[in-house]
Structure 1
């Protein structure tokens, strides 16, 4: 996204609110992502200047933590659990199905902008493995068939 497609004022506001905090970089990055959904590449120089850091330092933190996005997420974000309990309950075949169904890999968004796929390393729903979360709703005992039904329903609601 170009800087005209994201909210520069929101980025500036977050930076101003948090720049005097000890260790302000992470709170700023979280604040920006919470406000606009991702960390725009064009905001890196602004963040670096406010904190007297190099652009490389800011970029290094963004790229180190998988939680941070540098592109706008899809309308719905799917977090697929990769923890041991889910793996023991065949989440790897579910993962293969999900990626094939959506035509994307982790940290990507479908061409229509409807879905982003992110790994997560425990949703605290181990008794109902394999699990996933779409937006803020957790699903348990997810199979390829139940995944397809959920995705189809979300697509219908959007249509």
Structure 2
């Protein structure tokens, strides 16, 4: 997430100005904002509504309809668990339960220490090596509960080292 900008009204205004004239501009604008700052800040909703001549409720409705969009900053590590049939056949349901228990959160939530966010995904294209997760841009196959625990420990240690 090093290329994520700090949330500011100017960043949002830049995205809106760049995309508001496209047909069906709302989704590209929401993607652009989330790509730029990591989430769609609630304070950006009135800005988007004004630019597109829509109500705040319409904008909020679209944001909350699509699970991809988030209105709070994500954790340092976004963990996506594949829920597609091929991964389920290889044990993804048990892994999913373990991940939720280990992180003590459900999907679309972030741990209290802001280290991990958990998201479902419906195919990572790694079907033969399921169950599969993605952390950031890294796809990891054949994930067992023990392998996941080691990954969490490794990622937590890296964050602690960076902060020290």
TM-score, with structure 1 as normaliser: 0.95
- Residue deviations 1:110-146 (CA, integer Å, cap 9, x gap): 0000000000000000010100000000000000000
Q: If the length of structure 2 is used for normalisation, what is the TM-score?
A: 0.92
Give the drift of 1:156: 1.0
Provide, for residues 84-124 of structure 1, a one-character-per-residue CA deviation record: whole Å limited to 9, x for no partner: 00111111111111011101000000000000000000000
Considering only aligned residues, what root-mean-square deviation do their CA atoms show, in Å? 0.9
- Which sections of structure 1, spanning at least 5 residues, go unmatched? none
3-state secondary structure, aligned to 1:79: strand
Name stretches of at least 5 consecutive residues in structure 2 with no aligned partner.
1-5
Q: Distance in 1 between matches of 2:49 and 2:100?
A: 35
Instruction: Measure how far apart 1:60 and its partner are.
Output: 1.2
Aligned counterpart, 1:62: 63
Hey, which bits of structure 1, 4+ residues long, moved more than 4 A? none
Q: Distance in 2 between matches of 1:52 and 1:93?
A: 46
Tell me the SS of whatever aligns to 2:123: coil
- The count of aligned residue pairs is 155
Counterpart of 2:3 in structure 1 is none
Which residue in the other structure is 1:76 paired with? Answer: 77
Matches of 1:77 and 1:137, distance apart in 2: 11
Which string of whole-angstrom CA distances, capped at 9 and with x for unpartnered residues, describes residues 45-91 of structure 1? Answer: 11000000111111111111110001100001001000000111111
Match of 1:103 in 2: 104
